[in-house]
């Protein structure tokens, strides 16, 4: 690259020239000094190369920004100051220059140290009953989790001692290797991204800044939770290394099977057996609700097995909302298996009075059987 001639002067434009002005000036000068128009003229050929070099730099916004700030030194190995990476003076390569101008766009926030690593999140599986899911509950759980070390206060250094700047990365937390125009950047293997090295590690935590401790955590389970509900307790996870922020604790809810009710979201389902006489004549039954009340259910006369009755607002609470879902009662008509002689006599009397009109579904079914048999025998 030419190091003496100013790129703007080569293109004969002002430093505030926009892209269109730069392009127009370049085309005009390129045509003027093109080797085909000046055969055998070494000066025109050299000027043509300089013009192309200047335009190639200034048409690129990132290269132009670096050139405007540092001139030709922006593209020379070692940067304008010639200082090393670890000393904090100048720039070690073009990546440092771009990083200073454009911030994190070139990976690293101005060469500062790596941000503190947050502690890990933890998971706890909690099993509750359907009644507890209905009402909600407060429960204390015991967990063992990494917590800040008391003797060193989470710093990892022995009491009365401190840290020093890492010699390998110069306190930046990262080391780089340049490959042509690009850089490969990785966390410093000595300080692990902190930029500092502990001179005398704490004996209690071994320099980690955290130790495993049993803890009791109070969990508020809201009404309406279901299997798969996740409750987040911020800051109750593992402590971060060297005093960095802790992670979160996630409580995963699992609901036990209930003896009476099944659940589908906010809807409760139960199956209720009734006698065939109640199914035929109708009547009233009571079933207990999860809220402690007794629900009166009216059975219409002639109800069939599998029929569902809906009780609005008698289901599960809406999680983090208002109202409740519904309760669905599925009727199961039960045929008696133990009859007294008198009961059998009464049933025979009833059977003798049947005309077929009492059970329309049975009549329709046997009519279809009769028609199908007639088609087969014709």
| Binding-site residue positions for Zn(2+) | 149, 152, 166, 169, 188, 191, 202, 205
Torsion angle, alpha carbons of 368, 369, 373, 374, to 10: -30
Q: Which residues does the annotation place in the binding site?
A: 149, 152, 166, 169, 188, 191, 202, 205
- Taking alpha carbons only, the member of 119, 152, 114 closest to residue 241 is 119
Handedness of CA 134, 138, 140, 145 (dihedral sign): positive
Residue count of the chain: 378
- Given phi > 0 = left and psi -120 to 50 = alpha, else beta, which region is 302? left
- Taking alpha carbons only, the member of 327, 336, 203 closest to residue 265 is 327
244 Cβ neighbours under 8 A, 6+ residues apart:
116, 117, 118, 119
Strands 122-128 and 249-255: parallel
**CA atoms in the 13 A half-sphere facing the CB of 109:** 7
Quote the CA–CA distance of 275 and 173 in Å, as a whole number.
Answer: 79
364 Cβ neighbours under 8 A, 6+ residues apart:
none
**Environment class of 237 (CB within 10 Å of its CB; exposed 0-12, middle 13-18, buried 19+):** buried
Longest dimension (CA), the chain: 131
Token readout for 9 is 């002067």
Quote the CA–CA distance of 293 and 287 in Å, as a whole number.
Answer: 9
């Amino acid at each position: 690259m030419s190091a003496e001639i100013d790129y703007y002067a080569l293109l004969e434009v002002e430093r505030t020239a926009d892209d269109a002005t730069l392009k127009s000036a370049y085309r005009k000068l390129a045509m003027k000094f093109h080797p085909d128009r000046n055969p055998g003229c070494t000066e025109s050929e050299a000027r043509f190369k300089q013009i192309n070099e200047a335009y190639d730099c200034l048409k690129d916004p990132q290269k132009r920004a670096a050139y405007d700030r540092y001139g030709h030194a922006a593209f020379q190995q070692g940067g304008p100051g010639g200082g090393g990476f670890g000393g904090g003076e100048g720039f070690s390569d073009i990546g440092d220059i771009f990083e200073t101008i454009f911030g994190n766009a070139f990976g690293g926030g101005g060469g500062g140290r790596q941000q503190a690593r947050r502690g890990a999140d933890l998971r706890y599986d909690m099993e509750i009953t359907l009644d507890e899911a209905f009402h909600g509950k407060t429960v204390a759980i015991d967990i063992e989790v990494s917590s800040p070390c008391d003797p060193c206060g989470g710093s990892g250094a022995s009491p009365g001692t401190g840290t020093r700047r890492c010699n390998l990365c110069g306190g930046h937390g990262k080391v780089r290797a340049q490959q042509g125009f690009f850089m490969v950047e990785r966390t410093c293997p000595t300080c692990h991204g902190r930029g500092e090295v502990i001179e005398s590690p704490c004996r209690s935590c071994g320099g980690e800044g955290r130790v495993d401790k049993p803890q009791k955590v109070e969990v508020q389970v809201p009404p309406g939770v279901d299997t798969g509900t996740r409750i987040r307790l911020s800051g109750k996870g593992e402590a971060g290394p060297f005093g960095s922020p802790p992670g979160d604790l996630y409580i995963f809810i699992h609901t036990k099977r209930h003896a009476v009710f099944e659940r589908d979201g906010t809807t409760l389902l139960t199956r209720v057996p009734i006698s065939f006489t109640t199914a035929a004549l109708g009547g009233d039954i009571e079933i207990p609700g999860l809220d402690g009340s007794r629900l009166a259910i009216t059975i219409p006369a002639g109800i069939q097995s599998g029929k569902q009755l809906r009780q609005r607002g008698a289901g599960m609470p809406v999680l983090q909302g208002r109202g409740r879902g519904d309760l669905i009662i599925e009727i199961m008509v039960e045929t008696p298996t133990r009859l007294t002689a008198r009961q059998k006599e009464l049933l025979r009397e009833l059977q003798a009075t049947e005309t077929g009109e009492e059970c329309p579904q049975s009549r329709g079914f046997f009519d279809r059987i009769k028609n199908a048999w007639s088609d087969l025998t014709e």
